[in-house]
Amino acid sequence: MSEPKVWARKSTFIFAAAGSAIGLGNIWKFPYMVGENGGGAFVLVYLICVLLIGLPVMMSETIVGKYSHGNAIDAISKTAKRSNASQWWKGTAVLSMVVIFVILSFYSVIAGWAVDYTYNFAIGEFSGKNADQVGKFFGDLLADPKRLIIWHSVFMFLTAIIIARGAQEGIEKSLGIMMPLLFIILIAVVGYSMFATGKFSETINYMFSADFSKITPMVIIKAMGQAFFSLSLGMCVIMTYAAYMRKDVSITESSLYVTGLDTIMALLAGLAIFPIVFANGMNTGSGPGLLFVTLSTAFAQLGVIGTVLGMAFFFLVIIAALSSSISLVEPFVKWCEEHFGINRVVTTFTYCFAVWAFGLITIYSFNDWSVVEFMGTEDKPLLGIGKSPFDVLDFFASSVFLPLGGLLVSLYVGWAMDKEISREQLFTLSGFFFSLWLVVMRFVVPVLICLVFVSSILGEAKTVEIIEQVTNYFH
């Protein structure tokens, strides 16, 4: 058998997994979720979820990948064989491949918005615009399929080029440039926010002092879903990258680094954005428009500095999204390459083209198809979930299949897989911490994920009702 393909440098797994984890989830989603869900209360619950669920699940995916040195489907097959477990567990990875295809198709469209913003900041288009005008700019972008298709194509093409070049030449080399750049730009914007706005202490207070009355069951559930999305868990993405991990690298240490870096970047994004929002007397609870309307209006009011900051900031969003999107392509390409021996370049471009075409559904969701009412009625459109096909895709991919993937991984590694595999792989952990990890994987993680899962299917009101009934019963 040939030597397994591994990263050239010891630190690359950390870079690659952190690159996958740090993305739109940190810079776009996290701040607006903090803003919508009670500031410090959300941050506190999020941090607990990352530590209690995110870290142990990240270690589990890494164990399977590193043990087998292969694509996710074969990795599960190989560990299952050694554990005398059913080969049906491979279904977990197969399901992931389908879901990441869908996630990438809309991820790329949203990343495309950032490409459009970077370009328009660069040409001074935003200069002096007020909130209404920036809101209109955003609305016009969403209403224009041609513009959306151009940027979506540019983004998918960049992703394909990196992946086609291979793990070492493409992923490893590009990350060596992208990750430090990401960090530098974010620190620069935080630096500006810290010294120039005078709102830094207000932000610290907002983000880090928790008002416990704001911690509702729904806040806990949303924070957990966000932890999964942000850490790229449950999708066999981390498993795929772990396959390239060198033998001498510690899984525990690497997982701690990746989880830590992802969390730091999310917090830094908050520290970069909120002072600017506060300084302009704007509302933190503006939802998905926080970056594309609220923050952009603030930049637009800052003259030349705003133009530079806006350009740098959205460029940062592009890089963060790109280092995540490549991780959404690699699992399928690696599988085709290893399992069927198909040429990497051919698979990459065919796959990316298919994702691109599927992405058109998202693009038209924002304009021509936005109120498609098939499968629904006027007041309860599309299965009662949302008003466009994109809402439905996003709901099923992020809120249903991501927790489901996480649940399957935790059941597989916790219960089905031979625990000797984990024991060998977690060679740096002491006996006590290993047992702790196993208990968390077997009991804590599945129960908590089931909560997220049930809640996302039943919706907010119903879940709160059930939780209240259960708590009353125990009182």
Segment interacting with ligand PHE, rule: CB under 6 A, options 15-23, 121-129, 364-372, 377-385: 15-23
Among 14, 21, 189, 291, binds ligand PHE (CB under 6 A): 21
* Residue among 239, 224, 170 at smallest CA distance from 417: 239
Select the residue interacting with ligand PHE from 6, 24, 186, 245 (CB under 6 A): 24
Q: At what angle do helices 90-122 and 402-411 cross, to 10 degrees?
A: 140
Closest to 406 in 3D by CA, of 15, 49, 48: 49
Q: Tell me which of 232, 347, 399, 410 binds ligand PHE, using CB under 6 A.
A: 232
Binding residue for ligand PHE, selected from 155, 229, 241, 314, defined by CB under 6 A: 229
CB of 113 to ligand PHE, least distance (A): 14
Select the residue interacting with ligand PHE from 12, 26, 71, 259 (CB under 6 A): 26
Judged by CB under 6 A, the chain residues 278 through 297 that form the site for ligand PHE are none
Q: Mask: binding to ligand PHE, 296-335, rule CB under 6 A, as x and -? A: ----------------------------x--xx-------
Task: Decide: is 186 part of the binding site for ligand PHE (CB under 6 A).
Answer: no
In the bound complex, what is the minimum distance in angstroms from residue 235's beta carbon to ligand PHE?
Answer: 4
Smallest gap from Cβ 229 to ligand PHE, in A, equals 5
What are the Cα distances from residue 442, in Å, to 240, 345, 438? 22, 40, 6
Nearer of residues 105 and 307 to ligand PHE, judged by Cβ: 105
Which residues within the stretch 378-407 sit at the binding site for ligand PHE (CB under 6 A)? none
Tallying the residues shown for the chain, one arrives at 475
Stretch of residues binding ligand PHE (CB under 6 A), selected from 53-61, 227-235, 297-305, 424-432 = 227-235
CB-neighbour burial class of residue 427 (10 A; exposed 0-12, middle 13-18, buried 19+): exposed
Any residues with CB less than 8 A from the CB of 115 and at least 6 apart, and which? 151, 154, 155, 314, 318
Measured from the Cβ of residue 336, the count of other Cβ atoms closer than 10 Å reads 19
In angstroms, the CA 411 to CA 60 distance is 10
- Contacting ligand PHE (CB under 6 A), which of 71, 108, 230, 388? 230
* Residue 85, Ramachandran bin (φ over 0: left; ψ between -120 and 50: alpha; else beta): beta
CB of 266 to ligand PHE, least distance (A): 8
Min separation Cβ 236 and ligand PHE, Å: 9
Q: Note whether 53 binds ligand PHE by CB under 6 A.
A: no
DSSP state of 236: S
Dist. CA 97–CA 402, nearest whole Å: 12
For residue 217, the tally of other CB atoms under 10 A from its CB is: 17
Q: Which is closer to ligand PHE, CB of 232 or CB of 254?
A: 232
Among residues 235 and 449, whose Cβ is nearest to ligand PHE?
235
Q: How far is the CB of 26 from ligand PHE (least distance, A)?
A: 5
SS3 205: helix
CB 397, min distance to ligand PHE, A? 9
Q: How many residues bind ligand PHE (CB under 6 A)?
A: 15
> What's the min distance (Å) between Cβ of 20 and ligand PHE?
5
Least CB distance from residue 167 to ligand PHE, whole Å? 16
Query: Residue 108 or residue 193: which is nearer to ligand PHE going by CB?
Result: 108
Structure-token pair, residue 331:
């699992």
| Minimum gap (Å) between residue 183 Cβ and ligand PHE | 15
Q: Is 62 in the site for ligand PHE (CB under 6 A)?
A: no
Backbone angles phi, psi at 372, to 5 degrees: -65, 130
Q: Using the CB atoms, write b or e for 181-190: b if 16+ within 10 Å.
A: ebbebbebbb
The DSSP secondary structure of 97-119, one letter per residue, reads HHHHHHHHHHHHHHHHHHHHHHH
Contact between 23 and ligand PHE per CB under 6 A: yes
Q: Which is nearer to ligand PHE, 76 or 300 (CB)?
A: 76
Among residues 26 and 365, whose Cβ is nearest to ligand PHE? 26
Region for residue 233 given its phi and psi (left: phi exceeds 0; alpha: psi -120 to 50; beta: otherwise): beta
| Site residues (CB under 6 A) for ligand PHE, limited to 99-138 | 103
Binding mask 237-266 toward ligand PHE (x if CB under 6 A, else -) reads x-----------------------------
Burial class (CB in 10 A: 0-12, 13-18, 19+), 86: exposed
- Least Cα distance to 345 among 170, 177, 195, 225 occurs for 170
Rounded Cα distance between 291 and 295, Å, is 5
Alpha-carbon Rg for the chain in angstroms: 22
Q: Per rule CB under 6 A, is residue 235 in the interface with ligand PHE? A: yes
Binding site for ligand PHE (CB under 6 A): 20-21, 23-26, 103, 229-230, 232, 235, 237, 324, 327-328
